[in-house]
Amino acid sequence: MTRKSDFEKIGMLLVILGGILGLLYGILTIAGMRIGFYNPFEELLTVMGALVYGIIQIVLSLIVLATSGAIKAPSLKLSKNWFVILILGILLLVFAADLPAILIILGAILLALK
């Protein structure tokens, strides 16, 4: 095995783990039990804001999982490119999914090294 294939395997593992955690974060945000680091947009997380943020986190996490090939959802699948996964990770970071976004961004960077 080469190092490049190992980077790709670890990167995909981080992306899938970030997508699964993103689903969990979305569910917890909707339930009002948000976990994570400080977010400058914290005041936007009122009841309606938490519902919107949670739905966006769930949808973005499903897109990440479909793009990585972990689930089969043809309507959500984008091209399997490290740049697309990086943009999805940044969007998750903007919408207050801290740890999943960091895992997805790290996985996208490792995929870029392949």
Q: What is the pLDDT of residues 51-84, one digit of tens each?
A: 888 899 999 999 999 998 888 877 777 777 888 9
- Look at the chain and count its residues: 114
Q: Which domain holds residue 104?
A: 3-112
- Spell out, as residue ranges, where the chain has pLDDT lower than 50: none
| Structure tokens, 55 | 């739905």
pTM, two decimals, is 0.83
Question: Whose CA is closest to 61, among 8, 17, 28, 110?
Answer: 17
pLDDT of 5: 82
- What amino acid is encoded at 7 in this protein? F
pLDDT of 60: 93
Contact 101, 93 (CB under 8 A): yes
pLDDT of 34: 67
Question: What is the total count of domains within the chain?
Answer: 1
* Chain centroid, CA 67 distance in Å: 11
Query: CA–CA separation, 83 vs 67, rounded Å?
Result: 12
Query: Coil, helix or strand for 3?
Result: helix
Q: Tell me which residue has tokens 């997380």.
A: 45
